[in-house]
Every structure is written in C-alpha cells, then in structure tokens.
Structure 1
Amino acid sequence: MTASQVPGRSAKGLTALRRFAASITVFTIAGHAFLGFEQAYLTPIVALLVAYPLSLVLETVDAWAQRRPARYRGSATAMVNFLLPAHIAALACAMLLYGNERLMPTVFAVTVAIGSKYVLRLRVGGVPRHLFNPSNLGIAATLLCFTWVSIAPPYQFTENTGSVIDWALPAAILVAGTMINAKLTGRMPLIAGWVGGFLAQAVLRAAFLPDTLASTLLVVTGVAFILFTNYMITDPQTSPSRPRDQVLFGAATAGVYGLLVVAHITFGLFYALTIVCAGRFLFTLARKARRERTEITTPDRPPAVAAQAPEAAARVGG
C-alpha cells in the first residue's frame, strides 16, 4: 500500500506522521538513556503495550459496526501506518506526565487518548473525524482525575547535559519540528497565531497585572513549550486546515491559556488546548445540526430536466 492509498491520509500527511513518530521515539530513548527523564523506564513500554492492542480492538469493533474493512488490514505496511498515531500518543503521554514510579496514570492517559478518537468524533463531509487532540486530552483528563500527578519537570529534558547541549537540544527540536510543519503539515499559520497570541497575552499580563514580562515569557524558553508548539497543537487531524482558521485556533488557545494563568490554574497549556478543541467540537456539532434542519425544512425543487419536459414534449408534438 502506497502513501496515497492510506485511508484518510495524504502522502505528505503520512510522511509527517512517520517523522513525528521517529522523532518522539528517538527523543524518548535519548531522554531515558542520557538526558535525565524522571519517569520509570517501564513507563513508555507500558504505554505502548496499552496503546497498540487498544487501537486494534477499537478499530476492529468500529469497522464491524460500520461494515467496512479495518484500516490495518492488507499488509504489514498498513498495520504500521495505522499504529503510528497510537505510537505517538502513547509516548507523548509517557514523556509529559509524571506519576513517580506508578504506571496507572499513564495507562489511564493512553486509554483516554486512544478511546477519544472513537467516542468523541463527528461526521464531517461524510467522514468520521475526531476533533480533540488525543494525547493532550489524555494528559488533561489525567491531571484532573489524579491530583497527585503532575507534568514532568522542565529540567528533565536537559538535566544531564552541559551548557552547549542545553541550547543545542531545544534548537534542534525547534528546527526539526518547524521544518515538518512548514513542508508537510501546512500548520505554520497555526504556529504564528499561537506564538503571536502567547506573546500578546504575556504583554497584557505584564502591563495590567503584577507580573513581569520576563516571568510571563519564561515558559517560551523551555523544551516543553517547543514540543507543545511543534508536535501537539499542530496535529493535522485535530486542527483546522484553512490558514485563517488556523490563526484563530492558535490565538484562541493562547488567549484561554492567559485566562487560566490569571485564574491561578496550573497546567494551562494542556487545559487551554482541550477547552479550545471542545469549543470547536460544539461549534461543528451546532453547525452540522443547523445544516441538517435546513435540509429537512427546505422543500425539494423539481429537477431542471423534469421542469422542461412538458415544453419539450409540446415542441416534439407540434
């Protein structure tokens, strides 16, 4: 099966997915081996062992219910391509959540992430689509349900590195992610809206609240912010396609983040994206319902051919 034959994925989209999966895999291995990741070594392994079979089971049930072939059938390549999103979501949850040596919070996060793709979705253009970023939703749900779980400490990404690597590693992640989004996903307008909105809310907080501009912008310098910007908020499957909508999506996420910070709510990045995705989900649902009501109440017009039939028959008869 070629890239263009994968259901729901363009050739560029599949290439981007593969590069995202490769990047997060390498980063996970390097993080636990050299960088100083604080999670247990078993955390990413358990996350993958949950994500793979759960994705296959849910896809099998969904395919049976809709009387369609399962997307993983056909070849080993089809199976690998199908499991790539689950792979990315599992490693993202394992990397960004910290529950000490306990594994169940990660299991919960991965289950929510994978399950949401089949539960929280709408039929758009005749095709079922999930509008919630899976890994972000899994992380946000875990933080809400397990109050003793937190986000991985920022220092873990460069805990065991020297001064040169402290700058080189974030720069490498930034460049790699930007290239993928610029050439493959087409999400640079979204990044511009997100970063521009983030800078705007930081300036406003510094101007009208007892916050300094340096403190409001400090989060931008962390690896977690770069990962969120280039690898999470820009998910092509759960973000708008049109450039204008992308800018609004990114700016709205930044605005909600600023409000959450003002309200002294921690983990604002993940909650903000979840709230904006929920708003987009409800807006899409309302628009879909309104369109369906309009189609029901609008009387069917007779086809143009049928309307012209009597006149044509008269001409023939004459």
Structure 2
Amino acid sequence: MQLKRIDPRYYVLLFLTSFVAAGQLFLGFFQQWDSMFTAVTAAVAAELVLTRMLRGRWIVPLSALITGLGVSLLLSSHLLWPYALASVLSIGIKHTVRIGGKHLFNPNNVAMCFMLWFLPQYAVSTPKQWTNGYEIMAFILLLGAVAAYTAGRLDTVLAFISGFALFAAVRSFLFGDPLFFAFGPMLGASFQLFCFFMITDPQTTPPTRRARVLFALGIAAVDAALRVMEVTNSPFYSAFLIALFVGLPYRLYNRRQTSKLAME
C-alpha cells in the first residue's frame, strides 16, 4: 500500500511558524504578535473572498497562512496596516497575475517590492537582527532544508547560496569590500528566510533542475550587481527582475512549445 505524500506546504508552514515562535520567544524580534496576527488574518480573509468570487468555492487557506506568516517575517513597520496591505497585495497578485493557470511572480516578493519602493516611510525589510541563538537557528534551517527538499527545490537553494558566495568573493576582490561585509548577510536569518522561502515557490520556479540552477544563479548575480550600486533591499528586487525578464519569457516560450506539440 502506497503512503499518501504529505503536502510540501505543511513543511513550509512548520518552517515559518518555527521562525515566528523562535523570534518572539528567544531571538527578540522587533515585530510583535499583533503584526503576525494582522498579516495572517488579512491574507486568509483575502484568500477566502477572492477564491469564492473567482472560483465559486471555499477552500482551506493553507497557502494564505504561509503568505501571512511570510509577510510578518519579511516586513518591518511600526504600524499594523502595512502588514495587512502587503498580505492583501500578495493574495491579489497570486490570483490575478497568472500564465497557464499558475501565478507568474512570487506573491510575497512582489508585495515586498511594492512596499519597499513606494512606501519606504512606512515599511522596511526585516532588519538584520537575528544573528544570535545559533542552536535555535540550526534547527530552523534544518526545517527549511526539509521544506525545500520536499518541494523539489533544494537545488535552487544550494545554487543561490553558492552563487551568492561566489559573487561576494568577486565583490571583495574587485571592489575592496571587506570579507565580513561581503559574506556577512549569509550569517543572518533574513538571508536564510529568503533562500528557503522566497525563491523556492514551485509555482514560480522552473520545472527542470538545470533551469532552476540558472534561475538561482541569475538572482545571485543581479543581487551582487545591485549591491555594487548600493541599492538597498537588493535580494527582493533581484528576484523580481529575474522573474520579469527571464521567468516571463521562459514561461511564454514553454507555453508556445506546448501549444505546438498539442496541435501536431
């Protein structure tokens, strides 16, 4: 008898929930519980309403829980409404910007780019505040690795980490960045969150291993270029740019090829 495969989203949910719990109980996150509840409530409500309006049915909002937790971890604000707005934007983008029945962009990534670019006075990316409690972080990273593996995207994570390290060394050698400055972001949990959550969405990453590796290396390369230009929040912008200028043409090309094969 074949065992039923566990939905990989449950591992992602466990990963993010562990992040939230560790941050509140052990690591001293700036965000409070109310920001997490606001983000999750807004995401779940938007998911239920839009799914009912667009598909005519109710669903278990598992993906919305993941989205809301992601927003609460990625975003930092002294107000609550930015968390709600980012969550609603994420869910709205997921339901409206689609190709071939799948959303084109990582919804959390686009929402974060919007908030950081247009509303920087109200919202910033999570500060680099999670560099203590290494035993706890090791456990969380293990969960992240399991989540990425079950989603079939561990290769994406490893490619991005390798690319980031390579380009960090290049930046240090060519532009004189101190080694700790160049490699320092890798020690923070915000980097790990980006690796294991932001760039591993099965819906918005390529289906083949080779394409996923190139996708991740592309994000690392654009991130390095933006860091040289001293652009803040470079990981979010690099992921968006790669999705727009590489992911979109790739998806359109694959769709045309599939259509041609279907017509033959």
Scaled by the length of structure 1, what TM-score is found? 0.75
RMSD, matched Cα: 2.4
After superposition, where does 1:91-130 map in structure 2 within 5 Å? 91-100=69-78, 102-123=79-100, 128-130=101-103
Aligned to 1:147, the other structure's residue is in SS state coil
Q: Tell me the alpha carbon deviations over residues 15-56 of structure 1, each in whole angstroms, 9 at most, x when there is no partner.
A: x21121123223323422442111233111111221112101
Match of 2:156 among 170, 181, 190: 190
* Partner SS state of residue 203, structure 2: helix
Which of 251, 257, 267 is the equivalent residue of 2:217?
Answer: 251
Using the TM superposition, name which of 23-32 and 47-56 deviates more: 23-32
- Asked whether 1:89 is paired with 2:62, we answer no
Deviations 1:74-123 (A, max 9, x none): xxxxx2xxx111111111111221111x0121111111111111111101
Aligned-partner Cα distance in 2 for 1:115–1:276? 21
The aligned counterpart of 1:154 is 128
Judged with a 3 Å threshold, the aligned counterparts in structure 2 of structure 1 residues 294 and 140 are, in CA distance, closer, same or farther, namely same
Q: Equivalents in 2 of 1:253, 1:175: separation in Å?
A: 23
Partners in 1 of 2:22 and 2:139 — Cα distance? 14
1:58 aligns with 2:32: no
Name the counterpart of 1:31. Answer: 23
Which structure has the bigger radius of gyration?
1
What TM-score, normalized by structure 2, do the two folds share? 0.89
Partner of 1:132: 105
What aligned pairs does 1:1-318 form with structure 2 within 5 A after superposition?
Answer: 11-12=5-6, 14=7, 16-64=8-56, 70=57, 72=59, 79=60, 83-100=61-78, 102-123=79-100, 128-148=101-121, 149-155=123-129, 157=130, 166-182=133-149, 184-284=150-250, 286-287=252-253
The code of the aligned residue for 1:110 comes to: S
Ranges in structure 2 where 5+ consecutive residues have no aligned partner: none
Secondary structure of the 1:237 match is coil
Q: In structure 1, the residue corresponding to 2:99 is in which secondary structure?
A: strand
Partner SS, residue 56 of structure 1: helix
What is the percentage of aligned positions where both structures have the same residue? 28
For 1:36, the aligned partner's letter is G
**Residue 246 of structure 1: how far off its partner (Å):** 0.9
Whole-Å separation in 2 of the counterparts to 1:199 and 1:152: 21
Aligned residues, how many?
261
Name the CA distance, whole Å, in 2 between partners of 1:221 and 1:191: 15
Q: Following TM superposition, by how much is the alpha carbon of 1:288 offset from its aligned partner in structure 2, in angstroms? A: 6.1
Query: Does the CA contact (< 8 Å) of 1:28 and 1:95 recur in 2?
Result: yes
2:42–2:87 contact (8 Å) kept in structure 1: yes
Taking the aligned partners of 1:241 and 1:54, their CA distance within structure 2 comes to 28
Alpha carbons of 1:29 and 1:209: their partners in 2 closer, same or farther (altered >3 Å)? same
How far apart, in 2, do the equivalents of 1:23 and 1:191 lie?
15
